[in-house]
Amino acid sequence: MMHITKMMIEIRNLLQKVGQSNTVTLPAIVVIGSQSSGKSSVLEAIVGHEFLPKGTNMITRRPIELTLVNDPDARVDYGEFPDLGLHRITDFSLIQKNLVELNQSVPESECVSDDPIHLVIHSPRVPDLSLIDLPGYIQVAGENQPRELKRKISELCDKYIRGPNIILAISAADVDLANSTALQASRRVDPRGERTIGVITKMDLVDAEKGAAILADKQYPLRLGYVGVISKLPTQTGLFKRDTGNILTTISRNEKSYFGQYPALFGSDAHINTGVVTLRKKLMQVLEHQMSSKLQVTQDAIQRELQETTYQFKVQYNEEPMTAEAYLAASLDDFKHLFHKYASTFGRPQMHELLKEALDQRVLDQLAARYWNKPISDLVPALPEPDNIADLPKADPKSPYWHLQLDTASSALTRLGVGRLATTVVASAVQSNIDQLINKSAFAKHPSARQVISEAAATVLADRAYTTSDGIEFSLKPYKYEVDIQPQEWQQGRDHIAGVLKTELEHCQAAMKQLEGVVGGRKKLKEVMTFVDKARKGEVVVEGETRNGAGGFSAALLAKGREAVFLRDRADIINMRMLAVKSRQCKSLENKYYCPEVFLDAVATKLTQTAVLFLNVEMLNDFYARFPREVEAKLGETMLGGGLDRFAREDPRIRRHLDLIKRKELLELVLSKIDSLNRMDGTGMGMGPGM
């Protein structure tokens, strides 16, 4: 008998994992009662240990699904929280502490939660039982309790007291049964009293006659009857010393001594049930009977469920197997594949292009600072007679002025920290490419894995940044003193810088267009520009310019006008310089002082070439070798301790796939267990209604 209940409880617990469907489940015993009715005391007496959270402010906020396992081999009693991975807790005060904490994890604003705590207790002295402890009904919400607490508790209990569960309705003898919230609730869902067991606690607090009358079951008849108990642990003095281990012995001794005083009322002839021990027996019988009677229906329901699941598996996934490990391995393969493809497209030429582009900007900066800005160095409105190119020394290759200008510009380029610039430019390009790869890969749907991979890239790149940058600087050292340009390099520089200037010109023009849009059209912009020009030449006085503007233009408009004038002048100069670069003068290296654009471009190319050689060996190749290993190692760390499962389930598609397979496996397992249960009992015991 015992063994059968144990197996059915096991089946029930497995079914809990399948899902919430009410048809595909076996019954459990649900314990309800108002606060202070003695509910906890009864449960603890059944278990034989004090383990439930107590105290005036302690409201149970989550159901506790308690599985009692009769384990003849257990040398000591112990509890387990399977969901938390906590096993073999032999100290019941620790179990109590855990329950308090799990209870407190429900935020007060939520009042109660229907997410159950699973607790399994093993002992040679407990019967196999499946009990669910629910929050006690409250009559009036306390001062600090939210108003809806009462309603929420009641709703939560309603969910659990539905059939086929057995209701253990706890009421105290010293409270009129008509007012018992537990019995009222049970009558609502079980009006004929077919699956409710009444427990009357605190029998010691009423007259023995009155107590016996309650148990006689006349007023509110229940088919499974009432049991009267004194579940309170007697005070530690005198006759009833607490046993250090099991409290049931003490409680039961106390009950026997109390009820024994009234043999006429509570003796065997009275046909009244009293005592926790009797209650336990009753619970075992009723549970076994109720479970057995539902076994066939449950089996049928599971079979249907399994058929449906198998069908889904075929239709949706073509019976393709799936595990979290396989998913991770496939995701990694996919990512590595993308990475290798990327690695084959990003090498020296690409680094060269990136770095050269960055240096082109620096060349333009030098040109602007040392050559182009000269005539329009200031945009203050009342500029005296504007400088113009004619004021500068003649473009004489022998003029020390132009020598100095070009030498300073060239040396500024070589000393601007190309090492750092190069490593930064390349590292950030690689990093952003990796981030794009992640977004294209299966990891895109996994925020934490994304971060891990991205950080792995950053770590490997950062590892080499310093030495690479240093190495580049070292190898560029000679250029800091002299740069020797070959005719071929000059030619290349000339071609290249023409393109750079063209792009820069286009930028100026685009910026101009944008300004037109901002101020409200080309005409308007022209008007402001004319005013700014005149102001610069001193033809109009703008001394009175305040924050409100001048000449009928607002300050903001004037600022835009100055910007436009700057852009126009810049465009003019670039146009002029483009012609110069293309002219015969700039054809040959000898004329380098005429053509600083070409010379500086050639210098920048030299710097780029040297830097790229270093970058390739020191940084990129190292990255390509180490990054995949780093990703694997770092991802591996996050997959420990349930991380793998969490990872796979982040992808909704995989989660559904895994869930379906798990469901199918669980249903198959349950069916096989029911089968062996049926085989054990060749007569089909338990399935018949008349057990």
| 175 versus 472: smaller Cβ distance to ligand GDP | 175
Residues contacting residue 638 through CB under 8 Å, at least 6 positions apart: 448, 449, 452, 647
CB 353, CB 504: distance < 8 Å: no
CB 295, min distance to ligand GDP, A:
32
CB 442, CB 330: distance < 8 Å: yes
The length of the chain in residues reads: 691
CB 487, CB 588: distance < 8 Å: yes
Cross-strand bridge partners of residue 69: 122
CB 173, min distance to ligand GDP, A:
8
Q: What is the amino acid identity at position 590? A: E
- Of 25, 113, 231, 290, the one binding ligand GDP (CB under 6 A) is 231
- Of 5, 16, 37, 414, the one binding ligand GDP (CB under 6 A) is 37
CB 663, min distance to ligand GDP, A:
36
Q: What is the amino acid identity at position 492? A: Q
Q: Which range in 228-236, 349-357, 442-450, 479-487 contacts ligand GDP by CB under 6 A?
A: 228-236
| 52 versus 452: smaller Cβ distance to ligand GDP | 52
CB 243, min distance to ligand GDP, A:
17
Tokens 């690695």 map to which residue?
A: 343
Candidates 497, 607, 31, 212; CA nearest to 40 is 31
What is the number of alpha carbons within 13 Å of residue 41 lying toward its C-beta?
24
- Of 12, 39, 496, 577, the one binding ligand GDP (CB under 6 A) is 39
Cross-strand bridge partners of residue 81: 86
CB 278, min distance to ligand GDP, A:
14
- 660-682 burial: b if 16+ Cβ within 10 Å, else e: bbebbebbeebbeebeebbeeee
Quote the Cα angle for 341-347-353, to 5°: 125
Q: Is the dihedral of CA 218, 219, 224, 228 positive or negative?
A: negative
CB 238, min distance to ligand GDP, A:
16
CB 180, min distance to ligand GDP, A:
12
Interface pattern 589-618 for ligand GDP (x via CB under 6 A): ------------------------------
| 33 versus 493: smaller Cβ distance to ligand GDP | 33
CB 228, min distance to ligand GDP, A:
9
| 144 versus 344: smaller Cβ distance to ligand GDP | 144
| 37 versus 252: smaller Cβ distance to ligand GDP | 37
- 353-389 burial: b if 16+ Cβ within 10 Å, else e: ebbbebbbebbbebbeebbbebbbeeeebebeeeeee
Interface pattern 120-159 for ligand GDP (x via CB under 6 A): ----------------x-----------------------
Give all strands of the β-sheet with 86-89 in edge-to-edge order.
86-89, 78-81, 117-123, 64-70, 129-133, 29-33, 166-172, 196-201, 226-228
Enter the tokens of residue 540: 């109009």
Interface pattern 439-478 for ligand GDP (x via CB under 6 A): ----------------------------------------
36 binds ligand GDP (CB under 6 A): yes
> Residue 422 belongs to what H/E stretch?
helix 418-440
- Of 16, 40, 165, 254, the one binding ligand GDP (CB under 6 A) is 40
| 169 versus 598: smaller Cβ distance to ligand GDP | 169
Q: Which range in 37-45, 150-158, 417-425, 585-593 contacts ligand GDP by CB under 6 A?
A: 37-45
In angstroms, the CA 40 to CA 46 distance is 10
CB 139, min distance to ligand GDP, A:
12
Euclidean distance between the first and the last CA atom of the chain, given in angstroms as a whole number:
12
How many chain residues interact with ligand GDP (CB under 6 A)? 17
The helix/strand/coil state of 69 is strand
Interface pattern 195-224 for ligand GDP (x via CB under 6 A): ------xx-xx-------------------
CB 48, min distance to ligand GDP, A:
15
* 136 DSSP 8-state letter: P
Residues in 254-283 that interact with ligand GDP by CB under 6 A: none
Characterize the bridge pairing of strands 64-70 and 117-123. parallel
In angstroms, the CA 551 to CA 36 distance is 87
Q: Which range in 111-119, 229-237, 442-450, 574-582 contacts ligand GDP by CB under 6 A?
A: 229-237
User: Cα-Cα-Cα-Cα dihedral of 453, 458, 461, 464, to 10°?
Assistant: -120
Q: Which range in 33-41, 363-371, 423-431, 654-662 contacts ligand GDP by CB under 6 A?
A: 33-41
Interface pattern 54-93 for ligand GDP (x via CB under 6 A): x---------------------------------------
Q: Quote the strand ranges of 340-424, DSSP E.
A: none
Residues lying near ligand GDP in the complex (CB under 6 A) are found at 33, 35-41, 54, 136, 201-202, 204-205, 230-232
